[in-house]
């Protein structure tokens, strides 16, 4: 098969493209087009009359300015802790007051009762089939103590803390711990569901309001406060957490805090 080459027709030349037509390079009468990017020479100012001579000012001839004292004088007042002289447990109980513990007891007992009455019992979980005993203030304090202890002394499984060499079996049995851990809540969503104007932290909001007020009651802030962002460590599943790989706390919830000398006075 023979391939045929396309025969391109030559474009006809216009009058100004004819050979020998006058151009700026050949005819000096034709003005060359200036480049738009070329900066033109700025106009220089021309003096119409004679310029005045320079005046020499004498500083001693000026009148004395009146002394001014601002009506508001700022003084630095240092911060003061109202928890000085207290032990670690007493300081912790100043923030986690009996009002919070009583609310946790009521919410946990209410949720456990409603969950067991509405047949929310998992047959494969032996903890849900065991008879439930309502919790009291002592049970909640011991449960919180177990969480703090396991946070400092980490093992591969929680059950290992109740072995023969374990320490927690003296205060709470493993069965009782698992039962409380199953029904522990700060707000029973069956009796107090989420409202439309509440945020994603609606379950901890009743306790958070009390803790905020306790933080303010136990600290006298200084005259210099700082507003900065902080991260509450959390590694669970949540669409509201952020990840900051270059920070000391890699992931968690970001909040804005009003702090003073390392103390969180308020947060948002």
Q: For each of the chain's 268 residues, which pLDDT tens digit applies?
A: 565 666 666 666 555 545 555 555 556 555 555 555 555 566 777 777 776 676 676 767 777 778 888 777 777 888 888 888 888 888 888 888 999 999 999 999 999 888 888 765 555 555 556 788 899 999 999 999 999 988 888 888 888 888 877 788 888 888 899 999 989 998 888 887 888 887 878 888 888 889 889 888 888 888 888 898 888 888 888 888 888 888 888 888 888 999 888 888 888 8
Helices 174-183 and 98-117 cross at an angle (nearest 10°) of: 90
Q: What whole-number distance in Å separates Cα of residue 195 and Cα of residue 129?
A: 32
Residue 76 lies in a domain: no
Residue 121 lies in a domain: yes
β-pairing, 219-220 with 80-81?
antiparallel
β-pairing, 263-267 with 226-233?
unpaired
Residue 41 lies in a domain: no
**What pLDDT is stored for residue 127 in this prediction?**
59
Residue 250 lies in a domain: no
Counted domains in the chain: 1
Four-residue CA torsion sign, 168, 174, 179, 181: positive
- Residue 227's H or E segment, with its range, is strand 226-233
Question: Six-digit token pair at 39?
Answer: 């900066």
Q: What whole-number distance in Å separates Cα of residue 126 and Cα of residue 3?
A: 86
Q: Is 83 helix (H, G, I), strand (E, B) or coil?
A: coil
Residue 140 is part of which domain span?
A: 88-198
**What pLDDT is stored for residue 162 in this prediction?**
87
Q: What whole-number distance in Å separates Cα of residue 148 and Cα of residue 172?
A: 14
Residue 191 lies in a domain: yes
Q: Is 134 helix (H, G, I), strand (E, B) or coil?
A: coil
Question: Six-digit token pair at 87?
Answer: 């032990």
Chain-centroid distance, C-alpha 227: 11
Q: What whole-number distance in Å separates Cα of residue 228 and Cα of residue 257?
A: 6
Alpha helix positions (H), 1-97:
88-95
Q: What whole-number distance in Å separates Cα of residue 118 and Cα of residue 122?
A: 12
Residue 68 lies in a domain: no
**What pLDDT is stored for residue 142 in this prediction?**
92
Residue 109 lies in a domain: yes
Residue 118 lies in a domain: yes
């Amino acid at each position: 098969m023979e391939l045929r080459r396309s025969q391109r027709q030559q474009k006809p030349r216009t009058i100004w493209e004819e050979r020998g037509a006058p151009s700026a390079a050949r005819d000096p009468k034709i003005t060359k087009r200036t480049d738009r990017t070329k900066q033109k020479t700025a106009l220089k100012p021309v003096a119409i009359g004679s310029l005045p001579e320079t005046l020499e000012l004498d500083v001693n001839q000026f009148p004395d300015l009146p002394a001014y004292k601002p009506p508001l004088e700022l003084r630095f007042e240092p911060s003061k802790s109202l928890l000085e002289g207290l032990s670690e447990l007493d300081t912790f109980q100043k923030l986690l007051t009996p009002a919070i513990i009583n609310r946790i007891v009521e919410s946990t007992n209410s949720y456990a009762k409603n969950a067991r009455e509405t047949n929310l019992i998992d047959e494969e979980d032996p903890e849900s089939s065991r008879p439930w005993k309502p919790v009291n203030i002592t049970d909640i304090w011991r449960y919180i103590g177990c969480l703090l202890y396991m946070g400092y002394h980490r093992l591969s499984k929680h059950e290992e803390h109740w072995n023969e060499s374990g320490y927690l079996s003296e205060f709470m049995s493993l069965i009782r711990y698992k039962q409380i851990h199953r029904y522990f809540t700060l707000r029973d969503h069956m009796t107090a569901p989420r409202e439309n104007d509440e945020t994603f932290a609606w379950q901890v909001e009743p306790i958070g309001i009390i803790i905020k007020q306790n933080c303010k009651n136990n600290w006298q802030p200084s005259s210099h406060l700082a507003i900065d962002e902080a991260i509450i460590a959390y590694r669970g599943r949540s669409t509201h957490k952020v990840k900051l790989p270059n920070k000391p706390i890699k992931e968690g919830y970001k909040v804005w805090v009003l702090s003073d000398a390392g103390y969180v006075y308020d947060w948002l």
